[in-house]
Structure 1
Amino acid sequence: MKDETKTIIWPAYIDSTKSKSEGRKIPKKQAVNSPKLREITQAAKKLRLNPSVEKYKSYPPSWWEGSGRIIIDRNMSKQEVLIKLSNLINGSRKDK
């Protein structure tokens, strides 16, 4: 049975180097250039989404990449979560 309170986040969802057909789910202008699991996890923690990392999973359309995934608590729409994660990652990269 599917858990409606959890959401899976694959790095491809917010990766600006991916096309929509390759899995990107947000506009390219809001996406992140090659996001890392660690960055997504840190952003999810800041948003209090209780992230759980599965680093040995592969995004099915690009199974050979072994990108890993993050499972988070869902308290808003998936689109909202992806944009907020992306904004936090972009913001933290500009601070460096």
Structure 2
Amino acid sequence: MERETGKVLYPCYFDKDLKRKEGRRVEKTLAIKKPDTKSIAKAASKLALKYKTEDKTHPSFWIEKSGRVVVEWDQPKESLIKKIAETMKED
């Protein structure tokens, strides 16, 4: 999967304990406590999306080695984030 077609997702996008200005990208009702790359990858797998995990950090949370998931997606990133969040919330 090439980086140009993939959308990068960090666990902080789905963290219920963070405020929007701290990096959360979903509404509180879709956010979960302590998200990680495994839960994002599991949701992507359930949605039959191609993905890969990377040992990278979010620029704002560089000290935390949370990782990231690159998902192959050719539509707007916000729609992917919402689908992943809904799928993670179901589990």
d(CA) in 1 for partners of 2:29, 2:64: 24
Per the alignment, in what secondary structure is the counterpart of residue 75 of structure 1?
coil
- Residue 60 of structure 1 is matched in structure 2 by 59
Across the aligned residues of Structure 1 and Structure 2, the Cα RMSD in angstroms comes to: 1.3
Per-residue CA deviations over 1:16-49 (Å, capped at 9, x if unaligned) read 1111111111111111211121111011011122
Name the aligned partner's letter for residue 58 of structure 2.
Y
Q: Mind listing any 5+ residue stretches in structure 1 that lack a counterpart?
A: none
Q: State TM-score, norm by structure 1.
A: 0.84
- Segments ≥4 residues shifted beyond 2 Å: none
Contact 2:26 2:85 in 1 (8 A): no
* Counterpart-to-counterpart distance in 1, 2:48 and 2:76: 15
Structure 2: runs of 5 or more not aligned = none
Query: Where is the helix percentage greater, Structure 1 or Structure 2?
Result: 1
- 1:1-80 equivalences under 5 Å are 3=4, 5-54=5-54, 56-80=55-79
Q: Could you tell me how far apart the structure 1 residues matched to 2:32 and 2:51 are? A: 19
**TM-score, normalised to structure 2's length?**
0.88
Report how many aligned residue pairs link the two structures: 89
